Structure 1
Amino acid sequence: MTESYPRLAARTLRFTLGIPRNLTVSPDGATVRFIRTPDGVTRSGALWEYDVATGEESLLADPVDVLGGADEDLSPEERARRERSREGAGGLVSYDVDGTGRWACFPLSGRLFAIHLGAGAVRELPASGAVIDPRLDPTGRHVAYANAAGELRVVGVAGTDDRALVSPDSATQAWGRAEFIAAEEMDRFRGFWWAPDGRSLLVERYDDADVQVWHIADPANPDQPAVEQRYPAAGTTNSTVTLWHVGLDGEAPTEIVWDHEAFEYLARVDWSQGHDPVLQVISRDQRSSLVLEADPATGATRTLRELTDDAWVELSSAPRRDAQGRLVTLEDVADRRRVCLDGSPVSGDEWQVRSIVTIDEAGILTTASAEPTEVQLVRFGADGSAEVLTEGAAVHGAVAEGGTTVVVRHGLDSSSATISVHAGDATGAIRVLAEPAPFTPEVEIVHLGERDLRAAVLFPRDHVRGSRRLPLLMDPYGGPHAQRVLASGRMFLEAQWMADQGFCVVVADGRGTPGRGSAWEREIRDRFAEVTLQDQVDAVAAVAARFPDDIDPERVGITGWSYGGYLAALAVMARPDVFHAAVAGAPVTEWRLYDTCYTERYLGHPDEQPDVYDANSLLPLAPRLERPLMLIHGLADDNVVAAHTLRLSSALLAAGRPHTVLPLSGVTHMTPQEEVAENLKLIQMEFLRQQLA
Structure 2
Amino acid sequence: MLDAFLDASARTGRFTHGAPRAVTISADGSRLLLLRSTGPTDPVERLWTVDTATGAERLLADPLELFGRPVTYDDLPRAERELRERVRLHAPGIGSYAATGDHAVVAFVLGGRLFRVADGRAEEVPVAGPAFDPRPHGGRIAYVAGDAVHVTGIGRVTPDDGAVWGRAEFNAAEELGRTRGHWWGPDGDSLLVTRVDDSALVRRYLGDPARPEVAPVAQAYPRAGGPNADVELHVVRLNGLSTPVGWDRETYPYLTGVDGLVITVYDRLQQHSLLLAVDPVTGATTELAAFADEHWLECVPGTPCVLDDGRILSTVEEDTRSLAVDGAVITPPDLYVRRLVGNHGGGLLVEACDGDPAEQHLFVVHLDGRLDRLTHGAGTHSAVSGGGVLVTTSATLDGVTRTVTGALSAEPGHPLTDLSGPLPHLGRPVFARVTEHGLPTAVVYPRGHVAGRQLPVLLDVYGGPGYQAITHNPRVWTTKQWWADQGFLVVTVDNRGTPNVSPDFTRAMFRRFSQVALDDQVAALGTLADRHPDLDLSRVGVRGWSFGGYLAALAVLRRPDVFHAASAGAPPTDFRDYDTAYTERYLGLPADNPDGYAADALIADAPGLRRPLLLIHGLADDNVHPLHSLRLSEALTAHGRPHAMVAVPGVSHMTPEGVGERLAAIELDFLRANL
Q: TM-score range by the shorter chain?
A: over 0.9
Matched, 1:618 2:602: yes
Q: Which residue of 2 aligns with 1:158?
A: none
Deviations 1:403-452 (A, max 9, x none): 111101111122x4434444644611111111222111122111122211
Structure 1 position 594, deviation (Å): 0.5
Question: Out of 114, 117, 121, which is 2:116 matched to?
Answer: 114
CA distance in 1 between counterparts of 2:154 and 2:237 reads: 15
> SS of the counterpart of 2:665?
helix
Structure 1 position 110, deviation (Å): 0.8
Question: Out of 147, 150, 154, which is 1:150 matched to?
Answer: 147
Q: Which residue of 1 aligns with 2:326?
A: 342
Identity score, percent: 44
CA distance in 2 between counterparts of 1:41 and 1:70 reads: 14
Question: Out of 71, 78, 81, which is 1:79 matched to?
Answer: 81
Question: Out of 462, 469, 476, which is 2:461 matched to?
Answer: 476
Q: Which amino acid aligns with 2:429?
A: V
> SS of the counterpart of 2:413?
strand
Q: Which residue of 2 aligns with 1:635?
A: 619
> SS of the counterpart of 2:671?
helix
> SS of the counterpart of 1:442?
coil
Q: Is 2:71–2:93's contact at 8 Å kept on the other side of the alignment?
A: no
CA distance in 2 between counterparts of 1:673 and 1:313 reads: 35
Distance 1:255 1:448, change over 3 A: same
Q: Which residue of 1 aligns with 2:482?
A: 497
Matched, 1:487 2:455: no
Normalising by structure 2, we get a TM-score of 0.97
Distance 1:70 1:499, change over 3 A: closer
Q: Is 2:158–2:240's contact at 8 Å kept on the other side of the alignment?
A: no
CA distance in 1 between counterparts of 2:327 and 2:278 reads: 19
**Stretches of 4+ moved more than 6 A in 1?**
none
Deviations 1:126-170 (A, max 9, x none): 111111111112xx22111112x1111111xxxxx2411113411
Q: Is 2:114–2:127's contact at 8 Å kept on the other side of the alignment?
A: yes
Distance 1:361 1:408, change over 3 A: closer
- The within-5 A match list for 1:171-182 is 173-182=163-172
CA distance in 2 between counterparts of 1:387 and 1:427 reads: 18
CA distance in 1 between counterparts of 2:110 and 2:188 reads: 24
Q: Is 2:391–2:402's contact at 8 Å kept on the other side of the alignment?
A: no
Count of matched residue positions in the alignment of Structure 1 and Structure 2? 669
Q: Which residue of 2 aligns with 1:398?
A: 383
Deviates more, 1:103-112 or 1:5-14: 5-14
Q: Which amino acid aligns with 2:416?
A: I
Q: Which residue of 1 aligns with 2:181?
A: 191
Matched, 1:213 2:203: yes
CA distance in 2 between counterparts of 1:691 and 1:2 reads: 21
Q: Which residue of 1 aligns with 2:57?
A: 57
Question: Out of 238, 258, 267, which is 1:269 matched to?
Answer: 258
Question: Out of 87, 96, 99, which is 2:98 matched to?
Answer: 96
Matched, 1:166 2:158: yes
Q: Which amino acid aligns with 1:279?
A: I
> SS of the counterpart of 1:181?
helix
> SS of the counterpart of 1:645?
helix
Question: Out of 409, 421, 440, which is 1:435 matched to?
Answer: 421
Q: Which residue of 1 aligns with 2:670?
A: 687
Q: Which amino acid aligns with 1:685?
A: L
Matched, 1:295 2:297: no
CA distance in 2 between counterparts of 1:530 and 1:3 reads: 37
Show structure 1 runs of 5+ residues with no match.
156-160, 272-276
Q: Is 2:201–2:228's contact at 8 Å kept on the other side of the alignment?
A: yes
Matched, 1:578 2:565: no
Q: Which amino acid aligns with 2:220?
A: R
CA distance in 1 between counterparts of 2:615 and 2:387 reads: 51
Structure 1 position 223, deviation (Å): 2.4
- The within-5 A match list for 1:384-533 is 384-414=369-399, 416-422=400-406, 424=409, 425=411, 427-466=413-452, 468-533=453-518
Structure 1 position 538, deviation (Å): 1.0
Question: Out of 141, 161, 185, which is 2:139 matched to?
Answer: 141
Distance 1:188 1:70, change over 3 A: closer
Q: Is 1:208–1:240's contact at 8 Å kept on the other side of the alignment?
A: yes
Q: Which amino acid aligns with 1:55?
A: G
Q: Which residue of 2 aligns with 1:558?
A: 542
Q: Which amino acid aligns with 2:25?
A: V
Normalising by structure 1, we get a TM-score of 0.94
Deviations 1:272-308 (A, max 9, x none): xxxxx21111111111111111111111112111111
Q: Is 2:344–2:388's contact at 8 Å kept on the other side of the alignment?
A: no
Q: Which amino acid aligns with 2:575?
A: W
CA distance in 2 between counterparts of 1:179 and 1:447 reads: 39
Structure 1 position 677, deviation (Å): 2.6
Q: Is 1:441–1:493's contact at 8 Å kept on the other side of the alignment?
A: yes
Question: Out of 358, 365, 389, which is 1:373 matched to?
Answer: 358
CA distance in 2 between counterparts of 1:442 and 1:666 reads: 35
Structure 1 position 239, deviation (Å): 0.6
Q: Which amino acid aligns with 2:495?
A: G
Structure 1 position 68, deviation (Å): 3.3
Q: Which residue of 2 aligns with 1:254?
A: 243
Question: Out of 605, 608, 613, which is 2:592 matched to?
Answer: 608
Structure 1 position 221, deviation (Å): 2.4
RMSD between aligned alpha carbons?
1.6
Q: Which residue of 2 aligns with 1:274?
A: none
Structure 1 position 618, deviation (Å): 0.5
CA distance in 2 between counterparts of 1:301 and 1:335 reads: 33
Q: Which amino acid aligns with 1:177?
A: R
CA distance in 2 between counterparts of 1:661 and 1:647 reads: 12
CA distance in 2 between counterparts of 1:600 and 1:630 reads: 28
Q: Which residue of 2 aligns with 1:279?
A: 263
